[in-house]
Amino acid sequence: MRLDKYLKVARVFKRRTVAKEIALHDRAVVNGRVAKPSTEIKIGDIITVRYGNREFTIKVTSLLQQASKEAAAGMFDVLNEVILEEGN
């Protein structure tokens, strides 16, 4: 599954276009590498996203084409979440 679609289906972001923009501006990293929106995501991948003044790292636990709110919450585990200071 594509990175942008995964972030939308897992409800990390509300819209796929937002997820796509994050990746296009080099703010998404998959397994230590800067990722494009089309990067293929697999179970076990580690995704780090920087959005606004937050940076969070998640581990992919499942891939679903569509997910209810409850199912989407189980698609990943949050490993780390940091609020960045101004200027970072």
Contacts of 44 (CB under 8 A, 6+ apart): 59, 60
Q: How confident is the model at residue 84 (pLDDT cuts 50, 70, 90)?
A: confident
CATH number (domain holding residue 58): 3.10.290.10
What's the pLDDT at 87?
58
Phi, psi (degrees; rounded to nearest 5) at 49? -125, 135
What's the pLDDT at 16?
94
Domain that holds residue 69: 3-83
- The per-residue pLDDT for range 14-29, each reduced to its tens digit, is 999 999 999 999 999 9
HSE (side-chain half, CA atoms, 13 Å) at 51: 17
Q: How far is CA 10 from the centre of its chain?
A: 8
Average pLDDT over residues 60-73: 93
Average pLDDT over residues 37-65: 95
Tell me if 88 is assigned to some domain.
no
The total of structural domains in the chain comes to: 1
Tell me if 44 is assigned to some domain.
yes
Instruction: Identify the helix (H) or strand (E) that includes residue 18.
Output: helix 16-24
Tell me if 14 is assigned to some domain.
yes
58: left (phi over 0), alpha (psi -120 to 50) or beta: beta
